[in-house]
Chain A
Amino acid sequence: MSRALLLVGSPKSRKSASRAIGDALISRLAARGWGTLAERIPTRFDVDLTALFDGIADAELVVLSFPVYVDTLPAPVTRFLQEWSERGPRREGQRLVVLTQCGFPEAAHCASSIEVCRNFAREVGVTWTGALAFGMGPSVGEAGIEHSPIARALPSLDVAADALAAGEAVPDAVAAAFARPTFPAWLYVAVGGLSWRLQARQQRADAPLRYRRYAQEVRS
């Protein structure tokens, strides 16, 4: 039986878009006869990653799913890739596919993350099988993927699963379907502002949202 391992690089334990899209993909692989397993990448930097590498050694396909932080991979995911390259398993013919999302409407913000993962794959000798990137990630985690802005792209996830199960890369058309913004940017800007204010009220923010915690010395 072919095996796929989903590695979730979100620090959120629940309502994680990374987990939701990852589960959606590996459930489709399971429906095609694959054995699947999901693991979270530890967010504590003192946690040993050996157990994670044991799982990778058994997988023909590694599905790496993570949010974009400050234009690239979150630190725990970066640490994981660094340790994989230094001491992780090498398996002949192992493949990597990346699922990534950001908090902006445009998937273009994910481009650097994808390039980093592609560079990693080349360096460690893992076969690169593409990436799916999309915007508005937090809304996927909150609403559930079936009711999220990327629900419209889910049918194309079957096409991606077919390709991956056949040992092929994710088709460009699938990546394009995920990358297409659901809403125009101006609407996202307007609705986003209201959403942040609502969240601040729900969380009983201890200061105005525009509050400046730190002093800036006036210099000529």
Chain B
Amino acid sequence: MRVVLLDGSLAGDAAGARVVDEMFRALRDGGHDVERLVARQLDVRACAGCFGCWTKHPGECVIDDDARRVAAKVIDADVYAVVGPVRFGTYDWRTKRVMDRMIGLLLPFFTMIRGEVHHVQRYPRHPALVAIGTVERHEAATDRTFETLVERNAINLHAPAHSVSVIAAEDDAAGAVRAALDAIGVRTGVAA
């Protein structure tokens, strides 16, 4: 499988980097083609909210920066893996700025999914979504918020499968990462 791994770990965050490393290792050991993109190193401006990716330059953001390159890689992947810190139950802003710029992968048109209005998918195939949030310690409310958020993302991004996990510093990161991948049918190697 082709996997885009969006590495949202922060500079100097050893615990977060360890989780990203575990994800990369699990995917590589499973024989997958993994491309790791480090969110904090990308040149990505904020979404302008202009809808130009739908109405002016359909299918691609009107801002020419790294977000375009990421979008092209994500939509050609089988799995889109997002790993990084969770703050208040959402993604760190360096990761979120990349995600905000992906809506051109969807069509502007609407459809009904599970009784709610959502956008229509643009491509015949959209990647499965696996999101791993890292925290210093678990807090039930923020963990739950993040899990719900990723479930909502999976619906809106038309992910054919998804899984989400929140990993704290004291957790078994390797086991949690592999479980999250197993949950969406992604083969992993045997943990060392």
Instruction: Type the 1/0 row for B59-76, where 1 means its CB is closer than 8 Å to any CB of A.
Output: 110000000000110011
Task: Give the contacting residue for A207; candidates B57, B109, B117, B152; CB below 8 A.
Answer: B57
Residue A212 CB within 8 A of the other chain = yes
Q: How many chain B residues have a CB neighbour from A under 8 Å?
A: 59
Residue A115 CB within 8 A of the other chain = yes
Distance, CA A159 to CA B182, complexed state (A): 50
User: Residue of A at shortest CB range from B125?
Assistant: A216
Could you tell me if A214 and B72 are in contact, using CB atoms closer than 8 angstroms?
yes
User: Which chain B positions have C-beta within 8 A of A71?
Assistant: 149, 152-153, 156
Distance, CA A204 to CA B139, complexed state (A): 49
Instruction: Type the 1/0 row for B36-57, where 1 means its CB is closer than 8 Å to any CB of A.
Output: 0000000001111111101111
Instruction: Type the 1/0 row for A191-214, where 1 means its CB is closer than 8 Å to any CB of B.
Output: 011001001101111111111111
User: Residue of B at shortest CB range from A190?
Assistant: B110
Which of B24-32, B89-97, B159-167 makes up part of the contact surface? B89-97
Could you tell me if B75 and A70 are in contact, using CB atoms closer than 8 angstroms?
no
Could you tell me if B117 and A75 are in contact, using CB atoms closer than 8 angstroms?
no
Which of A105-113, A147-155, A168-176 makes up part of the contact surface? A105-113
Binding site for A on B (CB under 8 A): 2, 45-52, 54-60, 71-72, 75-76, 78, 87-94, 96-97, 99-100, 102-104, 107-112, 116-118, 122-125, 139, 141-142, 145, 148-149, 152-153, 156-157
